[in-house]
Amino acid sequence: MTTVHETLARGETAAGAVGVATALLDAYRPGAHRFFASPTRTLLAEGTHTRVAHDERPLTDRVREALGTAAAQGAADPVVIGAIPFDRTAPAALVVPAALHRAPALAADPLIALPAPPPEPVAWTLRPVPAPERYAEAVAAAVRRMRDGEFGKVVLARALDLTADRTPGLSAMLQRLARRDPHGYTFAVPTATGGTLLGASPELLVSRRGTALVANPLAGSAPRSEDLAEDVQRAAALLRSAKDLHEHAVVVDAMRAALTPYCAGLHVPRRPTLVKTAAMWHLSTTLTGTLADPAATALDLACAVHPTPAVCGAPTAHARRVIGELEPFDRGLYTGIVGWGDAAGDGEWVVTIRCAETRGQDLRLYAGAGVVADSDPAAETAETGAKFRTFLDAVGAAL
């Protein structure tokens, strides 16, 4: 098999070059590497040059320090890569790698169309946390409180714990996630607990290139159907759904308010469009802007909007308290941020959804749904079940 180093040595870095991006995907090994793929690039990071410190200073200051330290010690064009938790006061899993290999987007590599290896013949034991009926009860409790005027929206999540009869192959899982949706955001990074955060997110939190920023919040979802006519009907119904349009507008309004102070101009479309993954339809709005201060980095912007109402709720502080009351687990890196940023301030930071935290033979999957006053507990439970499909298909398990 051709190695990453052999591929790069041949200079095959032109956009669309056959095999360049998939070579990085093929080379990924858990623990040794950090992998991130987006619609603009594919990154494979090796080792650790500088670890981002955890202390009381703002995360953005600590990242700048790590990048500056790496540059002072001779690192050329240092980049920070990794994940940030839902709770920004918790330790982040961010490093400046010892080596970084870059390639064009996976979708630009014709070899990404080749089939992924099938799931291994692994026997899985599944345990929902909480049980689906308990989750529906939590949604109902939140709906009652919103109808009483206590708050406007909360995103409630549930988990699915999977235990295998042997240690599953994470490299093959990453292959299946990436090849299932090469136009999305696929990632695999080590966690602080010795495991791996693995996933395929459809949602760009924010990116920056020079003074141009892009944010693409998703909120309001419907499961896909294998029947084409039914699938189209579900998409059309989502675009007309008052409940989902309201849920989406709450997120877009919050993003607009958070990003406007950073921008000389910010364009926000009046109505959402649709994006699709293999499992879901989502309402989508793409915000584009020009920075007023070019010193504002992609991570500055990401931290200004995180957590959005798409993963937390509104008002934010109140929704976080409700999440703490109703969810029976610590989210960890789920609904945090994963991505990269460089010393010039450019970067891509993605919402950490459609993911699992893995360790040995154990995987914990997460899925959430936005709950508003018009939400139906059964429908929200079904939505989270559909969102589990992305990862269940990757491991060859079923609910």
3-state secondary structure 301-336: HHHHHCCCCCCCEECHHHHHHHHHHHCCCCCCCCCC
Residue 329's closest CA among 161, 144, 133?
A: 161
User: What is the CB neighbour count within 10 angstroms for residue 268?
Assistant: 16
Question: Which contiguous run of DSSP H or E holds residue 146?
Answer: helix 132-147
Helices (H), 332-376: none
Pair of tokens at residue 69: 């330290």
Cβ-based burial of 298 (10 A; exposed 0-12, middle 13-18, buried ≥19): buried
255: amino acid identity, one letter: M
Three-class DSSP category at 176: helix
Rounded distance, CA 200 to CA 197, Å? Answer: 10
Residues serving a catalytic function are: 153, 203
- Beta strands at 347-351 and 204-209: parallel, antiparallel or unpaired: antiparallel
Tell me 202's DSSP state. -
What is the Cα–Cα distance from 353 to 368, expressed in whole angstroms?
A: 9
Dist. CA 198–CA 41, nearest whole Å? 18
